[in-house]
Each structure stands twice: as structure tokens, then as C-alpha cells.
């Protein structure tokens, strides 16, 4: 056997096809392409929404028309043609399924391929699944157990009908309709998503989990997620996804809003593995997401994310620390390979007194990718004794990728304490040789080094997710060292 | 066990080894000494299979097999171990995790199942006691913030865990105080058997007071210019390397 050289690695990296690149043909109910007021109305009608919701959407659409796409991010791409996208697609507009037997067998086969079959998931103790395939929830499990505690976990469409008072009060309260271009678009056309409400003093007994998938050629995906943790409650929410391989770009513009009322805690974890495009940088998902949480008094929100997919990522899960003594955390691993571009980070807005925030960001760049951390720490005049600690580490593989850090700090209170640490390192040939000499081949050595680098963040993920995330890191970086 | 014949090697087209001949049999301890820049560490790296070094002539036979085309990890699987002069840091990877991976990858290469956790723990306990290593040390990130002595002791701990047939100790004595030196040497001596062999690479005679060689070779300018018993090491210590250089150049 000949030596495994750097060139071999490069070659393998280039030919490595996306593992989950397949396409499931499920008979779909899809709108014609284009966007106008009628389409917005039609989406609302299709979903049987009340008038207030239709109007809310129309308001958003009106704002969106006046807005411009943001261009400040450190990414370059061909802007999507918003009139060439179909804004609604549902796998067969049947009513919801009561059991797995009723679910399209082809869909189940897809899940089996991904290794996340519902059967398996159902058996996984402590994990309830709300599976979102192409915008419509097809199965919800563990609903009963949750129901006994008064926990509501359902699709946002269902929540609009069944719990209008909660949705009306909180939707758009953290991410307003005209917050930004993509949030406005999402507000106008969101197709579905998840809704979760944890009543006062209730500790959610299981990790709530949603798998998102994009599965319809040319269909934009506009998920809307709303999580409300009432006073003194706790919930851990997991979100993860994979998508089929395809040639044309797919736009994804989700909005996630978290509300943690007094003394509540929300832990929101994401593993994102959307199709990143092929080795030439063709295709791949555009991921323009707005995620934000609001903390009331003594509340805590933790965002943990492992981002390995998408051609373009534009994502800044943020915390508004409104209440005194509230805590915001952001733990992130962002991996880019080939021609992927990621501009991701967080905003920690300190409004209340004694508020604390922690940012740990680990960026890993390989191939010809560009990986940027962009973060804002803002201390308002009233936020006495606010604390922030930020750590941004970059790991580079090869000589053709880039890592960038854009930390912004705005402190308007003299008592603020802000710390920022940043490192950049490269996987060295000496490290690889050291591992090789101990019998560990180069692939495994990279996985080991990357996992070590990412450990601080991986440790924050719930157990079952951490394993999946480690696997993803390995898949994403297979054969990429220079 | 190891037979090196007329080995020539270069890095970046610069010729460093210029015809090495060396045979090591099971149960033997060999020492290679020589002035700085004579090619000692290069020899260690070439045997271990570091890619930057190109073998231009000659052969390395290990247990009857020419290993020139084998990757570094394949040589490791066959039982070649290199204790590094400058062990690298791998942040976030604990010593235990690293060893677990190394042992299981080696077992996998041999078609064996992963070592059960219970056996692994037992092995770790056994070997860490042998080398007087505090168990807390094993959960630290590999070589990160280790003192010179800790790094070297960790190398020998890894050697103890992997139980190689041929252990090459590259300047293991550098950066060690006398106590650490004794512990490391004791460890090596305890691991020595009639089935394995040790190749000690050193600049000074000091380490050889503790790990007593059967053969001492002097490497100079890419060639072994003198071989002898352990008394040769004492002679070098006394007289330095200049007389060797003069002999060669004469």
C-alpha cells in the first residue's frame, strides 16, 4: 500500500459526495412560483388561518417589499430570484397521521436512510419528535406524556388554531415582522414550524426534538418556531436536519423566537447539515436565519449550534437580556469545506442589571471555504455590572481557506466587564505524524484533533445529539488536511 | 528484527543519511550517539515513516519485510514505536482518549475487536503505576502545558501501553532532571524483554548509565563511523566527538 499523501487527501475530498444526497419522490401539493399578496393570502387560506394571522402576514409582506437584501455579511453569492420560488409545498394534504403505519412508506425509508427512523426515535426514551418534512408536520409523538404536564408541543399551524391567545401575544414579539429582510419574508410566507409552551414551574421531562428537512425541488423553506417558557419552567429543545442533494440553490429563511419568562430556562441546540453544494461550489442551501431569544428576570437562554452544512450561512442566534440577573450563552461550532461560506455568530444585548453572557465560538475551515465569526456585545446604560466573556477560536486546514473574526463591542456603562479571547491555529503535519506514529491513520487523526478543538462546545450538547454531531464533524471534514 | 542496509535519505533534496547499515536483534539495546546535525533524529523519523523524508537508496527490513512503502500508521501497527524528542500538543484530547484511540486503531488494523473498557482501565492503571504517573495527569489534554519531564514520561507511558517490538527513543533524556530521568529509564528497563528491542538516540552518555546498551554506534555526517560496546559511550563522554571527526576525516 502506498503512502497516503496530501494530494490523495485533496483528491478524496474533492470526490467525496454528500452522504445524504438523495431525493424522495412524495406526491406534493405545490404552489406556482412567484410572490404577491394573493400568494400570501392563499398560504394563509390553505392553512385555514384566522383573519388576524392573514393580516399579520400581509403587514409583513408590505414591509418586505420596501426592504433590501442585507449585503454587509462576508459572503458572496448570486442573489435568489424571489419570484422564481414556490412558497408552499406540502406532502399530500392529508390530515395528520395517528400512527406510523399511515405514514408514506417512502418517507419512512428516507428516515431509515438517515438513520433516524421514527420507529427508532419513538423508542429513544426521553425524546419526542415533531417531524417537519417540507413544511408540514407529519407525525407527532409523545404528545400525551407532554399533555399531562400541560406542555404544548405542536406545529405552529395547529397552535394558531388551538392556542391563538399565546401565538397572538408572542409571535413577532422578539423578532418583529420588519426586523430584517429575511425575517419579513418569513413572516409573510412561513409555511409551518414548531410551537412549544411550557407552563409555569414545569420542567419538561424530555428533550423536545424537531427534524427539519428540505425535500422539494425549487421550494423555499420558511420555518417559524416559537418557544415560550413560562415563569420558573425549563425546556431543552433540539433541532437537526439533513437535506437531499440537488443542483439548484435552495433558500431557507427561518425565524426562531424564544421567550424565557422570569426564572425560566431554555436550552436550544441545533445540528445543521444541509447540502453544502458540490466540490465545485455548485448548488447547496442558502441559509438565512434569524434566531433570537428574550430573557426576563433571572431567566437563562443557551444557544448551542453545530453548523456543518449549507453553501451560505447567515445566522446569529442572539439573546436580549432584558431582565435583571438574566444569562445568555452561545456555543457554536461552524465547519466550512470546499466553497462553503459562513458568516455566523451572536448578539448579546445587555439591558438588565447583573446580566451575564458567554460566547464560545469554534470555527473550522477547510478546502476553499470562508468562515467568519461576527458577534456583538452591547451593554446598555442601565445594565450595571454586566459581564461578558467571549472566546473565538479558528482552526484552519490547508492554505486555501479563510477564517475571519468580527467582534463588535458597545459598552455604555462603566461597570461593564468584557473579556475577549481569540486564537487561530492550523492542524499541523507534526500533529498528524504524531497520531500516525501511534497507529492512528490521517482521517481518524483529523477527527480526533477536530473533536478536541470542539470539545468545549460538544460538551454542551445533550448526549444523543453530541454523538450525532461528532459523526457530522467527521463526515464534513473527511479527507481535508493540508 | 530490524535490518537497515545502505540507507540513504534526504529531505527537500538535501541528502542527510548517506549509507546507514544497522542490524538490531530481539532482546538487544542499541545506542546511537553523535554530534548535532549528524542525522540521528532523521534516522528515527525515516524508520518511523515520516513523509517528508525520502529514501533514495537502500532498504529498511522489519521482521523480514521491506517497510519502505508502508505508511507511518502501518509501521506502528507492526510494532514500531517512536518516542518523540518534541512531543506535540493536541488540545482537548486527553491522554486517556488518545491512548484508547491508538490501541483500538491498532487492534482494528489487526482485525481485532475494540478493547473492552474494563481491560483498558486495568491496563491504564497498571502502566501508570509502573511509570509513577498520577492518574489525574491522564485526563489532561495531550502534552498541553506539560513540563519537559511530563512530556517524556508520557511518551514512555504510551510505549508501555502499546507494547511495541521496537522502541526508538529519540533524545528522551533532553529536558529531564535526574529524578525524571531515573523514572523514565526504570520504565524502559521494566518493559525490556527478550522479544523486544530498544534503540536509544542520545547526544550524551548520561541516559546510558540507566539504560545500558549492548551496542553503541557513532553517527557522523550521515554514516555510522564507529561501533562498539557500552565502553564506547564512556570514551565519547570523556573525549568528546572531535577525535571521531578527525579519524573520519583523516
DSSP letters for B188-242: HHHH--TT-EEEEEESSSGGGGTS--SEEEEEETTEEEEEE-THHHHHHHHH-SH
Q: Is A117 within 8 Å of A197 (Cβ atoms)?
A: no
CA distance B48 to chain A (A): 7
Q: What does the pLDDT read at residue A103?
A: 55
Q: In whole numbers, what is the pLDDT of chain A averaged over residues?
A: 81
Measured between beta carbons, the chain B residues lying within 8 angstroms of A459 are none
Q: What does the pLDDT read at residue A77?
A: 83
Domain coverage including residue B57:
2-249
Residue recorded with cell 481491560: B119
Instruction: Give the H or E element holding residue A23.
Output: none
Grid cell in block for residue B42: 532523521
What is the full DSSP assignment across B212-224? --SEEEEEETTEE
Tens digit of each residue's pLDDT (9 = 90 or more) over A411-456: 999 999 999 999 999 888 899 999 999 999 998 999 899 999 999 9
Contacts made by residues A216-219, CB under 8 angstroms, sequence distance 24+: A216/A28, A216/A30, A216/A86, A216/A89, A216/A134, A217/A23, A217/A246, A217/A248, A218/A33, A218/A84, A218/A85, A218/A86, A218/A248, A218/A250, A219/A30, A219/A85, A219/A86, A219/A89, A219/A134, A219/A250
Mean local confidence (pLDDT), A171-178: 93
Q: What does the pLDDT read at residue A303?
A: 97
pLDDT at A181 over 80: yes
The count of structural domains within chain B is 1
Q: Report ipTM (2 d.p.).
A: 0.96
Q: Is residue A482 part of a domain?
A: no
Strand, helix or coil for residue A329: strand
Kindly state the DSSP code that residue B79 receives in the 8-state scheme.
T
Kindly state the DSSP code that residue A223 receives in the 8-state scheme.
B
Kindly state the DSSP code that residue A354 receives in the 8-state scheme.
T
CA distance B205 to chain A (A): 27
pLDDT at A301 over 80: yes
Using CA coordinates, name the residue in chain A closest to B98.
A448
- Euclidean distance between CA atoms A136 and A192, whole angstroms: 6
Rounded to whole angstroms, what are the CA distances from A204 to A128, A132, A158, A287, A295?
A: 11, 21, 20, 30, 18
Q: Is residue A432 part of a domain?
A: yes
Q: What does the pLDDT read at residue A134?
A: 41
Q: How confident is the model at residue A243 (pLDDT cuts 50, 70, 90)?
A: very low
Instruction: Look at strands A255-260 and A28-30 and give their pairing.
Output: unpaired
- With a cut of 70, list the residues of chain B below it in pLDDT: none
Q: What does the pLDDT read at residue A102?
A: 58
Domain coverage including residue A64:
6-477
Q: Is residue A1 part of a domain?
A: no
Tens digit of each residue's pLDDT (9 = 90 or more) over A35-87: 888 889 988 988 889 999 999 999 999 999 999 888 888 888 888 888 888 78
Using CA coordinates, name the residue in chain B closest to A427.
B90
pLDDT at A95 over 70: no
Q: Which residue has the higher pLDDT, A482 or A475?
A: A475
- Euclidean distance between CA atoms B222 and B8, whole angstroms: 8
- Euclidean distance between CA atoms B158 and B154, whole angstroms: 6
Say how far residue B140 (Cα) sits from the centre of its chain. 23
Grid cell in block for residue A331: 456555543
Q: A 189-228 residues with CB below 8 A of B?
A: none
Q: Which residue has the higher pLDDT, A109 or A332?
A: A332
Mean local confidence (pLDDT), A383-407: 93
Cross-chain CB nearest to B51 (options A3, A444, A456): A3
Q: Is A6 within 8 Å of A481 (Cβ atoms)?
A: yes
Interface test with A, best of B70, B92, B157, B166 (most A CBs within 10 A): B92
Q: What does the pLDDT read at residue A13?
A: 39
Q: What does the pLDDT read at residue A212?
A: 46
Mark yes or no for CB contact A437/B72 under 8 Å.
yes
- Euclidean distance between CA atoms B13 and B56, whole angstroms: 10
Residue A444 sits at the chain B interface (C-beta within 8 Å):
yes
Strand, helix or coil for residue A332: strand
Q: What does the pLDDT read at residue A323?
A: 97
Strand, helix or coil for residue A236: strand
What is the full DSSP assignment across A181-220? HHHHHHHHH--B-EEEEE-TT-B-SSEEEEEEE--STTB-
Least confident of A258-262, A313-317, B235-239: B235-239
Q: Is residue A336 part of a domain?
A: yes
The count of structural domains within chain A is 1
Mean local confidence (pLDDT), A243-248: 46
Grid cell in block for residue A17: 459526495
pLDDT at A225 over 70: yes
Q: Which residue has the higher pLDDT, A481 or A386?
A: A386
Q: What does the pLDDT read at residue A47?
A: 86
Strand, helix or coil for residue A234: strand
Q: How many CA atoms lie within 13 A of A407 on its CB side?
A: 17
Instruction: Provide the phi-psi class of A193: left if phi over 0, else alpha when psi is between -120 and 50, else beta.
Output: left
Q: Which residues pair with A273 in a beta bridge?
A: A242
Instruction: Give the H or E element holding residue A426.
Output: strand A417-426
Q: How many residues does chain A have?
A: 482
Residue closest to A187 by CA, chosen among A178, A197, A196: A178
Rounded to whole angstroms, what are the CA distances from A307 to A27, A80, A87, A337, A365?
A: 30, 22, 25, 11, 12
Q: What does the pLDDT read at residue B226?
A: 92
Residue A452 sits at the chain B interface (C-beta within 8 Å):
yes
Measured between beta carbons, the chain A residues lying within 8 angstroms of B105 are 438-441, 444
Q: Is residue A82 part of a domain?
A: yes
Mark yes or no for CB contact A436/B72 under 8 Å.
yes
Say how far residue A40 (Cα) sits from the centre of its chain. 25
Three-state SS string over B88-124 comes to CCEEEEEHHHHHHHHHHHHHHHCCCCCCCHHHHHHHH
Q: What does the pLDDT read at residue A436?
A: 97
Q: Determine how many CB atoms are found less than 10 A away from the CB of residue A440.
A: 25
Cross-chain CB nearest to B158 (options A1, A428, A438): A438
Cα-Cα-Cα-Cα dihedral sign, residues B162, B165, B169, B172: positive
The CATH number assigned to the domain holding B204 equals 3.40.50.300
Q: Is A375 within 8 Å of A344 (Cβ atoms)?
A: no
Q: What does the pLDDT read at residue A216?
A: 43
Rounded to whole angstroms, what are the CA distances from A80 to A84, A101, A225?
A: 8, 39, 23
Q: What angle do CA A264, A355, A320 make, to 5 degrees?
A: 65
Q: Which residue has the higher pLDDT, A242 or A102?
A: A102
Q: What does the pLDDT read at residue B243?
A: 87
Q: What does the pLDDT read at residue A139?
A: 42
Amino acid at each position: 500500500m502506498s503512502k497516503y499523501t496530501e494530494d490523495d487527501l485533496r483528491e478524496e475530498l474533492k470526490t467525496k459526495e454528500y452522504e445524504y444526497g438523495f431525493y424522495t419522490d412524495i406526491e406534493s401539493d405545490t404552489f406556482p412560483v412567484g410572490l404577491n399578496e394573493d400568494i400570501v393570502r392563499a398560504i394563509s387560506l390553505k392553512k385555514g388561518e384566522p383573519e388576524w394571522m392573514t393580516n399579520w402576514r400581509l403587514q409583513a409582506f408590505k414591509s418586505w417589499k420596501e426592504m433590501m437584501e442585507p449585503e454587509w455579511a462576508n459572503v458572496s453569492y448570486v442573489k435568489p430570484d424571489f419570484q422564481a420560488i414556490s412558497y408552499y409545498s406540502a406532502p399530500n394534504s392529508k390530515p395528520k397521521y395517528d400512527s406510523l403505519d399511515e405514514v408514506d412508506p417512502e418517507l419512512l425509508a428516507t428516515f431509515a436512510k438517515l438513520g433516524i427512523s421514527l420507529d427508532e426515535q419513538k423508542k429513544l426514551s426521553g425524546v419526542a419528535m415533531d417531524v417537519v418534512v417540507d413544511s408540514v408536520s407529519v407525525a407527532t409523538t409523545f404528545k400525551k406524556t407532554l399533555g399531562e404536564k400541560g406542555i404544548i408541543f405542536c406545529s405552529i399551524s395547529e397552535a394558531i388554531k388551538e392556542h391563538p391567545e399565546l401565538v397572538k401575544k408572542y409571535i413577532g414579539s422578539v423578532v418583529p415582522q420588519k426586523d430584517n429582510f429575511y425575517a419579513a419574508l418569513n413572516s409573510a410566507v412561513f409555511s409551518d414550524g414548531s410551537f412549544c409552551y411550557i407552563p409555569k414551574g414545569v420542567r419538561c421531562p424530555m428533550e423536545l426534538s424537531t427534524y427539519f428537512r428540505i425535500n422539494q425541488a425549487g421550494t423555499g423553506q420558511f420555518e417559524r418556531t416559537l418557544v415560550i417558557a413560562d415563569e420558573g419552567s425549563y425546556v431543552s429543545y433540539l433541532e437537526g436536519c439533513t437535506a437531499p442533494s440537488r443542483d439548484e440553490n435552495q433558500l431557507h429563511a427561518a425565524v426562531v423566537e424564544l421567550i424565557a419568562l422570569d426564572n425560566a430556562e431554555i436550552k436550544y441546540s441545533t445540528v445543521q447539515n444541509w447540502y453544502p453544494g458540490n466540490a465545485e461550489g455548485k448548488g447547496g442551501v442558502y441559509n438565512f436565519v434569524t434566531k433570537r431569544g428574550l430573557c426576563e428576570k433571572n431567566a437563562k437562554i443557551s444557544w448551542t449550534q453545530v453548523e456543518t452544512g449549507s453553501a451560505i450561512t447567515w445566522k446569529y442566534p442572539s439573546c436580549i437580556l432584558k431582565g435583571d440577573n438574566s444569562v445568555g450563552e452561545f456555543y457554536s461550532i461552524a465547519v466550512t469545506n470546499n466553497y462553503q461560506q459562513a458568516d455566523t455568530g451572536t448578539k448579546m444585548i445587555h439591558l438588565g442589571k447583573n446580566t451575564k453572557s458567554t460566547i464560545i465560538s469554534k470555527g473550522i475551515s477547510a478546502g476553499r471555504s470562508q468562515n467568519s465569526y461576527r458577534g456583538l456585545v452591547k451593554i446598555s446604560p442601565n445594565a450595571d455590572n454586566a459581564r461578558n466573556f467571549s472566546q473565538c477560536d479558528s482552526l484552519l486546514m490547508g492554505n486555501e481557506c479563510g477564517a475571519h473574526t468580527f467582534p463588535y463591542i458597545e459598552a455604555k456603562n462603566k461597570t461593564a466587564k468584557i473579556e475577549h479571547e481569540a486564537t487561530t491555529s492550523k492542524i499541523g503535519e507534526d500533529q498528524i505524524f504524531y497520531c500516525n506514529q501511534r497507529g492512528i491513520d490521517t482521517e481518524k487523526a483529523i477527527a480526533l484533533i477536530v473533536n478536541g478543538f470542539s470539545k468545549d462546545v460538544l460538551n454542551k450538547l445533550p448526549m444523543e445529539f453530541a454523538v450525532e454531531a461528532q459523526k457530522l464533524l467527521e463526515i464534513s471534514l473527511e479527507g481535508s488536511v493540508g | 528484527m530490524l535490518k537497515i542496509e545502505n540507507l540513504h535519505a534526504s529531505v527537500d533534496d538535501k541528502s542527510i543519511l548517506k549509507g546507514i547499515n544497522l542490524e538490531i536483534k530481539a532482546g538487544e539495546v542499541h545506542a546511537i550517539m553523535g554530534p548535532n546535525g549528524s542525522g540521528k533524529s532523521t534516522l528515527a523519523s525515516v524508520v518511523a515513516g515520516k513523509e517528508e523524508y525520502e529514501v533514495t537508496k537502500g532498504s529498511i527490513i522489519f521482521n523480514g519485510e521491506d517497510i519502505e512503502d508502508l505508511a507511518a500508521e502501518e509501521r506502528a501497527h507492526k510494532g514500531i514505536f517512536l518516542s518523540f524528542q518534541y512531543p506535540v500538543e493536541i488540545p482537548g484530547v486527553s491522554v486517556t482518549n488518545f491512548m484508547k484511540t491508538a490501541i483500538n486503531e491498532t487492534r482494528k488494523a489487526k482485525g481485532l475487536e475494540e478493547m473492552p473498557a474494563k481491560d483498558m482501565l486495568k491496563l491504564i492503571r497498571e502502566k501508570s503505576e509502573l511509570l509513577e504517573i498520577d492518574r489525574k495527569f491522564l485526563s489532561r489534554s495531550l502534552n498541553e502545558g506539560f513540563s519537559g519531564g511530563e512530556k517524556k514520561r508520557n511518551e514512555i507511558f504510551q510505549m508501555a501501553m502499546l507494547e511495541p517490538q521496537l522502541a526508538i527513543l529519540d533524545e528522551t533524556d533532553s529536558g529531564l532532571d535526574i529524578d525524571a530521568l531515573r523514572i523514565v529509564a526504570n520504565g524502559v528497563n521494566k518493559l525490556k524483554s527478550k522479544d523486544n528491542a530498544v534503540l536509544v538516540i542520545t547526544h550524551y552518555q548520561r541516559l546510558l548509565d540507566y539504560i545500558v546498551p549492548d551496542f553503541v554506534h557513532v553517527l557522523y555526517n550521515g554514516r555510522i563511523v564507529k561501533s562498539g560496546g557500552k565502553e564506547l559511550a564512556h570514551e565519547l563522554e570523556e573525549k568528546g566527538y572531535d577525535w571521531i571527526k578527525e579519524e573520519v576525516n583523516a
